[in-house]
Amino acid sequence: MGTGIAQVCTLAGLDVWLNDVSAERIDAGIGRVRDGISRQLAKGAITAELSGQASTRMRAAVDYEALSACDLVIEAATEKEATKREILTRLRGKLAPAAVIATNTSSLSVTRLAAFTDRPDRFVGIHFMNPVPAMELVELIRGVATSESVFQSAKAFVERVGKTFSVSEDFPAFIVNRILLPMINEAVYTLHEGAGRLESIDKAMKLGARHPMGPLELADFIGLDTCLSIMQVLHEGLADSKYRPCPLLVKYVEAGWLGRKTGRGFYDYSGDKPVPTRN
C-alpha cells in the first residue's frame, strides 16, 4: 500500500520521502515504485517525460527526522493497531508544527489512533484502495478532533493525486470494508460448511454477480491476515455475532497461509496457475 501511494503521489508531481523498518526495505520500496511507473509507461498510461520526472521525486527517509520537511505524512503500516500506535508515538516531535498526519487504516478508529499523536486536530483518515494506482476511490474519515481545515486539505490532496473521495464516519471498517469483508467472510463460511467448492464459489460470484474477482480469490489478494483483522475489528467494535470471523479463516491465518504474499492461501500460487488448497 505504501509504495502504491508513493507511486500516485510522485506521478502527481509531489516529492515523496519513503520510510520503512530498514534501509533495505526502503530501497526495495523505491524499486517497486519505479517498477510500477515503468509498467504504466509500457502500457501507454503515462508519458516518458512524466515517468522520468516522477522517478526523481523519491527519496529515502532513513529515520523519522528525515520527514521534518513534509507537509503530509501517511502511515501505511500493516493493519495492526499496536504497530500503528508505535509509529504514531515515535513521530511525536519529529514533524513540522503545521504538518498533517494521515492513517491509511482500513478499519481502525481514526479518533483512537489520533490520541497517540502530538496533533489530534491535524490527524485524518485517508484510506486508499488496493491496488492504489488502479483504484479510483479513497475513503476520507474525520476523527472527533480533526479540524475542518485539515479535512478540506485532505480532500484537496486526494483530488491532486487523481482520485475520487467518499466521506465515511469513524465507524469500524468505514464503508467499503464494512460491506466487502462480511461478504468475503460469508464466502469462507460457505466453503467451510461445504455448501460449495472453492472454485464454484468464486465462479458463482464472478459470473452470477458480475464481480471481477471471486471472494476467495479476492481474499488471497487482500491478505487473509488483513481480512481476519478487519473482521475482528467489526466483531469487537459492533458487538454483533454476524461479524464473527469464520473458523476456517482463522485456521488459514494460524497456518501462515495468508494468500498471494506468502504463495498460499485459498489457492496455491507456486505453479503456473493457481490451484485450490481445499475442495
Q: Which of 106, 107, 109, 168 is catalytic?
A: 106
Could you give all domains of the chain from N- to C-terminal order, each with its CATH number? 2-168 (3.40.50.720), 177-276 (1.10.1040.10)
Q: Which of 109, 139, 185, 229 is catalytic?
A: 139
Known catalytic membership, residue 177: yes
Strand (E) or helix (H) holding 133: none
Q: What is the pLDDT of residue 137?
A: 97
Known catalytic membership, residue 136: no
Known catalytic membership, residue 139: yes
Spatial strand order of the sheet with 123-128 comes to 72-75, 100-103, 123-128, 137-142, 164-168
Known catalytic membership, residue 127: yes
pLDDT confidence bin for 279, thresholds 50/70/90: confident
pTM above 0.85, yes or no: yes
pLDDT tens-place string over residues 154-212:
999 999 999 999 999 999 999 999 999 999 999 999 999 999 999 999 999 999 999 99
pLDDT tens-place string over residues 219-240:
999 999 999 999 999 999 999 9
> Is the C-alpha dihedral spanning 111, 117, 121, 123 positive or negative?
negative
Q: In sequence order, what are the residues at sequence separation of 6 or more whose Cβ sits closer than 8 angstroms to the Cβ of residue 245?
A: 185, 228, 231, 232, 235
pLDDT tens-place string over residues 58-116:
999 999 999 999 999 999 999 999 999 999 999 999 999 999 999 999 999 999 999 99
